[in-house]
Structure 1
């Protein structure tokens, strides 16, 4: 090998050494791990999402082996994504439907993580006018289009602005099943449909004549008021003892047994620390 070739070889080796060394140093000059953290994708119910996001934030802070990402889309989206391998864990505010088992197979594994309630909410003006309690018959009549004015329910002479969730929402399915009598019930009294609890909350608070339904943790003072249903107000106590009729369990689902990384996160959510986060997020712990 002649002298120019030797010099070229030395230069190449030197550059390679620099690249290898720089790959082990992060931007702050600290030694970085040569392996990236595994990722666990969670998707689904916007009702379950706040508690899972809070758990994921804590989980991602206390360890660096498994990073959890969380997206919404509704219970139906989460169940579809986990069955098709696009998510590791599904969030759902309802049970898996028979038709979903037919479509994807009977391999769903359920992990109840909390209890919640569907709160029936009205605009502040409607609540102040005296509409503070609705029976199943009254609520069903509103969403069936049989009652269209608040004066028929002891409220002001205002047309009812009824807000509901879009198809695919676990909250919608639970509401329809418990109030309307069927998950597939028609709701011709609905004025607008929305894709998330947050959108329903915004629609009701921006109106002075609206009614809607949201997960209990979305009720936070201001101009959004939860009414009693069948004479029982939604609260932690009435959810725990089962006296509030619109209570429900919240789930995580995997398709088949969870992988080791997904299992670690599910175990964290169900741990004492995770269940404390569930309570802090406005839900009733499963334990």
Structure 2
């Protein structure tokens, strides 16, 4: 009888847990870099909380932050930190955005698998993206023109590349802009002369990753910051998050959530 009683109590507790957030809806938007992490996390979270409705969309870090400030999303995914002007805009609206770092990342230069180049320095990458170096032979490759592929300006990955690689130099107008991390990967995989950059979770065997200043981008070099283009991945919420949204963020930061980060190809905290 005691075992039966305990089973009933356990069932009641589980029922309360699964229905604690019943009817709550969460909107998540922003970084396409974080998108594969969030999609996996949301799938696992909704299995445990089937009564919660969650909508996830990309669009880029800037668009995600804008949506948060406009009140059209609950959680903004961002592969860069908020800019001063965005923080000021939030303050003017009476908002208090909170940053929650959920993973680490290395933004890795990628080329076509047929390209013999293995390593580029920050200076060489900057010269290529500024349009000053236009032939692969200038950096140890074949005698053929370089096709520069870049993320679009609403992307946090673009902002990261601008900060760590370009500095005050602008990406030249001839660069082919792509709207998502996946599109970047496909563009480089299909073009033997192309170069671009992508978050570590997207880089697969369809392209060739390059070392930067002789350093490979991986979990160790991202954590110790020896890789020159390492960054945090974060979400933003307005003020003190609560309810199902807090439950989701707590889940991302839990050991199970961090394992999902790693399974998605990114670097857990």
TM over 0.5: yes
* Structure-2 separation of matches of 1:180 and 1:190: 15
Please, which moves more after superposition, 229-238 or 158-167? 229-238
CA RMSD of aligned residues (A): 1.6
1:255 counterpart (238, 246, 253): 238
1:218 is aligned to 2:207: no
Flag structure 1 segments of 5+ consecutive residues without an equivalent: 1-32
* Structure-1 separation of matches of 2:225 and 2:22: 45
* Structure-2 separation of matches of 1:122 and 1:239: 20
Flag structure 2 segments of 5+ consecutive residues without an equivalent: 1-18
Please state how far the C-alpha of 1:268 moved relative to its aligned partner: 0.8
Identify the residue that residue 25 of structure 2 maps to in structure 1. 39
1:119 is aligned to 2:103: no
Structure showing greater Rg = 1
**In the TM superposition, what whole-angstrom CA distance separates every residue of 1:218-243 from its partner, at most 9, and x where no partner exists?**
11112x01100011011122222221
**In the TM superposition, what whole-angstrom CA distance separates every residue of 1:134-186 from its partner, at most 9, and x where no partner exists?**
0011000001111000011110011000000111110000001100114xx42
* Structure-2 separation of matches of 1:100 and 1:180: 22
Identify the residue that residue 264 of structure 2 maps to in structure 1. 281
Identify the residue that residue 224 of structure 2 maps to in structure 1. 241
What is the DSSP-based 3-state SS (H/G/I as helix, E as strand, rest coil) of the residue aligned with 1:124? Answer: coil
* Structure-2 separation of matches of 1:180 and 1:134: 14
1:267 is aligned to 2:250: yes
**In the TM superposition, what whole-angstrom CA distance separates every residue of 1:114-138 from its partner, at most 9, and x where no partner exists?**
0011010001121xx2x10000110
Please state how far the C-alpha of 1:57 moved relative to its aligned partner: 0.6
* Structure-2 separation of matches of 1:117 and 1:263: 27
What is the DSSP-based 3-state SS (H/G/I as helix, E as strand, rest coil) of the residue aligned with 2:114? Answer: helix
1:143 is aligned to 2:129: yes
Please state how far the C-alpha of 1:37 moved relative to its aligned partner: 2.7
1:193 is aligned to 2:158: no
What is the DSSP-based 3-state SS (H/G/I as helix, E as strand, rest coil) of the residue aligned with 1:121? Answer: strand
CA contact 1:143–1:189 (8 Å) conserved in 2: no
